[in-house]
Amino acid sequence: MAGGAPGERTLKETPTWAVAAVCAVFVIISVLIEHGIHKLEKWFHKKHKKAMSEALEKIKEELMLLGFISLLLTFGTKYIAKICIPNKLGDSMLPCKKGEVEEESKDDRRRLLSFDFDENVVWRRGLAPAAGGDDYCSNKGQVPLISQSGVHQLHIFIFVLAVFHIFYSVMTIVLARAKMQKWKAWETETSSVEYQFTHDPSRFRFAHQTTFVKRHSGWSEKPGIRWIVAFFRQFFASVSKVDYMTMRHGFINAHFAPDSKFDFHKYIKRSMEDDFKVVVGISVPLWAFAIIFLLMNVYNWYTLTWLSLAPLVILLLVGTKLELIIMEMAQEIQDRTTIVRGVPVVEPNNKYFWFNRPHWIIFLIHFTLFQNAFQIAYFLWTWVSS
C-alpha cells in the first residue's frame, strides 16, 4: 500500500462498503473471464479443434505469467524504490532530455498542491504516489534505481503489451478465416461435373498455355522485374482461383492418389490453426527483444523511429516472398516440361523458402505481431506517464 501522501486514507479509514464493493467488482470480472475461457475451451473440444485448444492454453499461460509479473511488481515496488544508485549513473542513458525531465518533475510537484476558491487545501494524488523511496535515497545523496511511480508505469506497460499481443493474434486469425471463406467456394467447385470436364486428366496442353503458367509468366520471368511484380501483386488478388486450384492439385498429387476426394480447404484451416498456436504466445526471444529495446531507447538514438518502420518492412518483404514462391513454382513447371497432362503439377519444396526453412515465415509474422503490440503498449505507456 503506498503511503506518505497527505490526505491518503488507509483501509482502516475506508468505509467497509467501499472496500467490499471494489473487491466484488474485481472478483466478478475475474470469474466472468474465467468462465468465458472455460466455455470457449469446451466448445473447441466439442468441435475437435485441437490446435485452437492448444492456442487457448497458451493464452491462459500468458495470462498466468502476466499475473505473476504483476504480483512480483506489486510486492517488490517498495523494495525496488529503495535500491539507490549514484546520481551520475542515474543521469545516464535517459529516454528524454534531462532538462525536460527536470522541468516536468517541477511541474508535477507544483501540481501536487492546489487551492480552491474558499482557500481550502485540496490534495491531488497521482496513480501511484511515492511512499518514501525518493526521500530514502535523497538522504544518502543518491537517486532510486526506479521510483515507485516508475515501477507502476512499467507495470502498465507489461500488462498492455501482453493484452495487445493477444488481441493482434486473435484479429489475425479472424481476418485470415474471413479471407478463406472465398476459398471454400472454390473447394466446393472441385466436386462439380464442369470442373471434372475442364480438368480432365487425359487432356494434354502446352505448359505455357495453362492459366497458372500464363498468370506468372511474361514480365514476371525477368529476375529484376519479378520482385516488383510480386511486391504489387500481394495487394491485389494475392491468391487467385487458379493459384488455389493448382496448389490443391499439387498437394494431392504429392500425398494422395490423383483422384482422391481430399478437402484441401479444411486442411489449410487446420494448418492455420496450428500456426496460430505458435504466434499467440510471447516467447523468450520476444521478451528479450522488449528488454533490449527498453535498454536502447535512449534520447537522440531514434530507436522508436526505426522500430516503427520494421513491422511494415517485414510484412511487405514476407508478402513479396510468398508471391515469388508461386512464381518460381510456375517457372519450374515451364522449365521441367513442355506438355502437361490435366492440371499443371506444382512441387512444393523447402528450397523455395529462405535458407530452406519455411518456419522463418511464421517467425517473421510472429515478430511483426509482437512489434505492433509493443508499439501500442509503448504509446499508451508514454501517454499515461506524461
Exposed e or buried b per residue across 76-105, where buried means at least 16 C-beta atoms within 10 angstroms of its C-beta: ebbebbbebeeeeebeeeeeeeeeeeeeee
In terms of pTM, does the model score above 0.85? Answer: no
Q: 225-277, pLDDT tens digit by residue? A: 788 888 888 887 778 888 888 888 888 877 777 667 788 888 888 888 888 87
Q: What are phi and psi of 122, to 5 degrees?
A: -115, 120
Q: Point out the least confidently predicted range of 39-43, 93-97, 158-162.
A: 93-97
- Domain positions in the chain are 11-42+50-151, 166-385
> 47 vs 40, 42, 96, CA distance in Å?
11, 9, 52
Q: What is the pLDDT at residue 354?
A: 86
Report the percent of the chain where pLDDT is more than 70: 80
Query: Across all residues in the chain, what is the average pLDDT?
Result: 76
Average pLDDT over residues 294-317: 82
pLDDT bucket at 139, cuts 50 / 70 / 90: confident
Could you tell me which residue, 206 or 307, shows the higher pLDDT?
Answer: 307
